[in-house]
Amino acid sequence: MIVLSGIGVVILGFALRLNPLVVVAAAAIVTGLCAGMDPVVVISALGKAFVDNRFMAVAWLVLPVIGLLERAGLRERAKTLISRMKGATAGRVLMGYFVIRQFTATLGLTALGGHVPMVRPLIAPMAEAAAERQTTLTPEKREMVRANAAAADNIALFFGEDVFIAIGSILLICGFLAQNGVNAAPLDIALWAIPTALLALVIHLARLWRFDRRLGAKK
Amino acid sequence: MIGLETIYVLAGGMFAAFAFSHAVDRANPARWRSTLFWGVFATLLILGSYLPHFVSGVMVLVLVGLAWIGLKPGPDATTDEQTRKKSAARLGNALFIAALAIPVVTLAGTLAFPHFKSLVDAKHVTLIALALGATVGLLLAMSLTRAPLSAAAAEGRRLVDSIGWATVLPQMLAALGGMFAAAGVGAIIAKLTSAAIPMSDAHVAQTITVVVYTCGMALFTMIMGNAFAAFPVMTAGIGLPLIVGKFGGDPVVMSALGMLSGFCGTLMTPMAANFNIVPAAVLELKDRNAVIKVQIPTALLLLFANTVLMSIFVYR
């Protein structure tokens, strides 16, 4: 039971709004110590795990490109493009992105999107430009539009990619079931992801539609 | 052959350039803090495979300490809005070509690299393709805007400063996951939750077990920040012994909908930093939980839907 104290550290740390990096590192150390590891072993395990997960840092390689293009006016260009489109609203921009993102994810094209390469330089500015025509965009509303842009990317990706048979989660399920003596074809598992994918589409598009109406109503 | 180590050197080199850019920035009073932070991170990326794990661990703690003291971004040296508007009008849609080159090249590389096994490490095609996509995008952007490499470093540093410590949070969370696994946290959680299911009436127990499994997947994913970590624990602890073993449920339906229930948890937790905390930083949101707040209603509705779908179809 005592090894669960790491979870307590996480909950307490987030509740006290401490720096998440500090909270997570503290939780890792507490968990290790409570499991009876030597402090040197705990720090070594932390270092090893951090180094083993360096692949996560590779995605940041896009930063200089996005930075350069922003300097050259990429966000402004994205805004101009949207403001020339008749009938573009923040909700419709995000609904359009959601549909494209989810559809491409079901085909396994998970790389076509993401927060740094797509949402920040293109989708969020487009949605903001459209919202500016619907209403006077207060800082709070701007924040809401941006948060919705990030959420659309996440939800479309999560519930789209599981329909594609070669994705990590499906392979993990098959591997795990096989270890436990159950033979399951990736296609069957992907098939059972379709109802939830459709529901995610319907539910989130409806919420974006409502968000759009609320945004336009308070003129 | 191009493998992961090459890519780590490339990424580490980029962060070293950010550190250097801070070091020469006399206008920022806290410049050494940032220099040290990005310098240590660059060193971990480049030399991670060669350093003793204890040394890496101490360096990780240095990162945490610096983040706690607080990183301050340097003053922005980027263009003003007037210049950007003029530049946007001049370059037009060509700007999009450079931006979209990243995903297109990544995709093409992912599909093509497996045919060049002697050139590219086949196990890591996507990451290598992503690095290639970023490089192609950078070359296109530089030739398009006629900007020097130093401008690319300065602009990249501007972005990484706005993201700050959140840049290394996903890796720290992965480290916590490793520690949880080593300490056996998952097994205890599975034992506690399965002990909570009443077994008196078979039909009621079947439904309750489904609810405990889907909600447990979501909750445990919120604790771990990752549905992949929660799935084996919850499925070995509750799904296989009870839903499949005791009640004869369909393992395919159970695991497909169980994993998707975990994804609902991912949408609701700051522990899924990659998807929830990092984008809040990337989009420069004041409320770092703003993305989570938007996602919660969709996540809860989908968790409910998954639970209903599973209780209808798993025992069919």
Among B residues 220-259, those touching chain A with beta carbons less than 8 Å apart: 223, 227-228, 231-232, 235-236, 240, 244, 251-253, 255-257, 259
CA-based angle B54:B60:B63, to the nearest 5? 150
The pLDDT tens digits for B132-142 are 999 999 999 99
- Give the residue from chain B lying closest to A125, CA to CA: B283
What's the rounded Cα separation, in Å, for the pair A103 and A161?
A: 9
Is A196 touching B (CB cutoff 8 A)?
yes
Least confident of A165-169, B79-83, B111-115, B311-315: A165-169
The pLDDT tens digits for A64-77 are 999 999 999 999 99
A170: tokens are 């499906």
Q: Do the chains contact at B57 and A7, CB–CB below 8 Å?
A: no
Is A124 touching B (CB cutoff 8 A)?
yes
Instruction: Give the mean model confidence (pLDDT) for residues B76-83.
Output: 78
Encode A45-62: b = buried (16+ Cβ within 10 Å), e = exposed: bbbbbbbbbbbbbbbbbb
What's the rounded Cα separation, in Å, for the pair B48 and B30?
A: 27
Q: Band of the pLDDT at A55, cuts 50, 70, 90? A: confident
What's the rounded Cα separation, in Å, for the pair B10 and B16?
A: 10
The pLDDT tens digits for B144-195 are 988 898 899 999 999 999 889 999 998 898 888 888 888 888 888 888 888 8
Are B260 and A162 spatial neighbours (Cβ–Cβ below 8 Å)? yes
Q: Is the pLDDT of residue A219 over 70?
A: no
Number of C-beta neighbours around residue A187 at 10 A: 9
Q: Do the chains contact at B95 and A74, CB–CB below 8 Å?
A: yes
Q: Determine the 3-state secondary structure of B93 from DSSP.
A: coil
What's the rounded Cα separation, in Å, for the pair B197 and B216?
A: 12
- Rounded to the nearest 10°, the torsion over CA B258, B259, B260, B265 is 100
Name the residue facing A24 among B11, B156, B172 (closest C-beta).
B172
Among B residues 187-216, those touching chain A with beta carbons less than 8 Å apart: 188-189
- Give the residue from chain A lying closest to B96, CA to CA: A74
Q: Band of the pLDDT at A218, cuts 50, 70, 90? A: low
Closest alpha carbon to B311 in B303, A94, B150? B303
Q: Band of the pLDDT at B220, cuts 50, 70, 90? A: very high
Are A163 and A109 spatial neighbours (Cβ–Cβ below 8 Å)? no
- Give the residue from chain B lying closest to A165, CA to CA: B256
Name the residue facing B295 among A46, A124, A154 (closest C-beta).
A154
Higher pLDDT, A17 or A41: A41
Are B134 and A116 spatial neighbours (Cβ–Cβ below 8 Å)? no
Q: Of all residues in chain B, what percent carry a pLDDT higher than 90?
A: 56
Instruction: Give the mean model confidence (pLDDT) for residues B219-226.
Output: 90
Is B294 touching A (CB cutoff 8 A)?
yes
Among A residues 29-48, those touching chain B with beta carbons less than 8 Å apart: 31-32, 34-35, 37, 40, 42-48
Q: With contacts defined as CB-CB under 8 Å, which chain A residues touch B154?
A: 67
What's the rounded Cα separation, in Å, for the pair A201 and A190?
A: 16
Q: Band of the pLDDT at B119, cuts 50, 70, 90? A: confident
Instruction: Give the mean model confidence (pLDDT) for residues B257-270.
Output: 96
Q: How far is CA A28 from CA A18, A67, B95, B176, in A?
A: 15, 34, 43, 5
Q: With contacts defined as CB-CB under 8 Å, which chain A residues touch B231?
A: 169, 172-173, 176
Q: Do the chains contact at A55 and B127, CB–CB below 8 Å?
A: yes
Determine which helix (DSSP H) or strand (DSSP E) holds B273, and give its type and residue range. helix B273-282
The pLDDT of residue B114 is 83
pTM given for the model: 0.89
What are the residue boundaries of the structural domains of chain B, listed by start?
1-163, 168-314
